[in-house]
Amino acid sequence: MIVHPIDYRYGTPEMKRIWSEESKIKRMIWVEMALLKALAKKGYVDEKTVKENKKKALKIKVERVKEIEREIKHDIMSLVKAISEVVDDSRWVHFGATSNDIIDTATATQLRDSIKILEVKLRKLALILVDKSLEYKDVVCLGRTHGQAALPVTYGFRFAIWASEIARHYQRLQQMKDRLLVGQLSGAVGTQAAFGDDGFEIEEEVMRLLNLKPAIISSQIVPRDVYCEYIEFLANLSATLEKIALNFRILQRAEVGEVLERFEKKQVGSSTMPHKRNPIDCENICGLARVVRGFVEPQHQSAILWEERDLTNSSAERITLVEATILTDHILTKMIKVVENLQLDFESVRRNLEMQRGLNLSEAVMISLTKKGVERQKAHEILRQVSMRAYENKTTLFEELVKNDEIMKYFSKEELKKILDPENYLGTAKERIEKVARWVREVVK
């Protein structure tokens, strides 16, 4: 019986394959076989036997491991017994290892392969956002702070900000790999006592075979601060993805109408209102991002363990690492699709800008007045009073400005019109977009 929505609704096939039960067991077999190979290198076991054993072990079915587990109530010992059933000379299977040597090292391979997928998608999203920032560099729109009309900005500027965030997430992922992608072969309490003087060499060889690094030190488990950092990364990324999606939703509202999420030819928006074009992809991103961030606290709690370890982390991590990774990959994939197919309604963009009747350029007039010699605070008060009259009279800022004798001592009507042109009050916006584009491309190259 399928219960969890990840099984039938959320997640990409490539990421779910990595975190499937079959994959987990296969990867733990990889670790056990790497251990045998490392032992063979030190003369414990014949290398030819190890090669044959690996072929046999990789054919073990999940069902057999679970059947043994139902009897003995221990997942890793069930795997060890299943391997021992099929290999030649089982004496050295799991030799010197403890359960979490196998679990944590196998998990590191899952994290490694997951990061490869996330890297590719982060790079793709960053570059799409950069392309959009340059495409819309000159599309002047209404900036908003507190949900209210603010100065003009350009759509390209917005996309550049989002591109910079995604590029920083890409950087964080690169910087985190050295700390995160580590395994261990350190035994029951971390001392490698069973291996004697060979401990370091055996551990290093196992990690080399698996394309990992050995943890600098571990008890019975790899210290969980590295998993906390990973979940925090996913939470941080999910916050950025939700922010972008939320802004797309706001900008798609009927009374704003500047942005359009892709709507398929036969897509249905509502079961009762045939006209609806709901932003379902962005809403999906926002909802699942909140779930991802919910895993931060249980993962932190899983880092707080007794002495060399207890088992309270195990059950939680079967959920936190798997679901947080799959859901983050899901919403990242969905965001790529949203941005690729996003449309701007240029008429609505211009309408919303002009609807402000020039009031959102009050700062431009204030700054110009200050440059003419008026004390800045006085200029602010003059413009505040003029703006409030424009609100009350439902007139344009220009109409109220030309009535003000104090203002007209300093400006001609033509000068005021030029000051109130949104195109003339963008500062370094366009140059900053180009600067961000160059930086992002350098970061993710």
Active site residues: 146, 270
| DSSP assignment string, 266-285 | T--S-SS-TT----HHHHHH
Which is it for strands 343-344 and 259-260: parallel, antiparallel or unpaired? antiparallel
Specify whether the CB–CB gap between 317 and 227 falls below 8 A.
Answer: yes
SS3 content of the chain, % helix, strand, coil (to 5): 70, 5, 25
368/419 Cα distance (integer angstroms): 8
- Give φ, ψ of 213 to 5 degrees: -115, 150
318/269 Cα distance (integer angstroms): 36
* Burial profile 38-49: b = 16 or more Cβ within 10 angstroms, e = fewer: bbbbeebbeeee
What is the distance in angstroms between the CA of the first residue and the CA of the last residue of the chain? Answer: 44
Which is it for strands 140-145 and 148-154: parallel, antiparallel or unpaired? antiparallel
For 3, residues 6+ apart whose C-beta sits below 8 A from its C-beta are: none
| DSSP assignment string, 15-51 | HHHHHSHHHHHHHHHHHHHHHHHHHHHTTSS-HHHHH
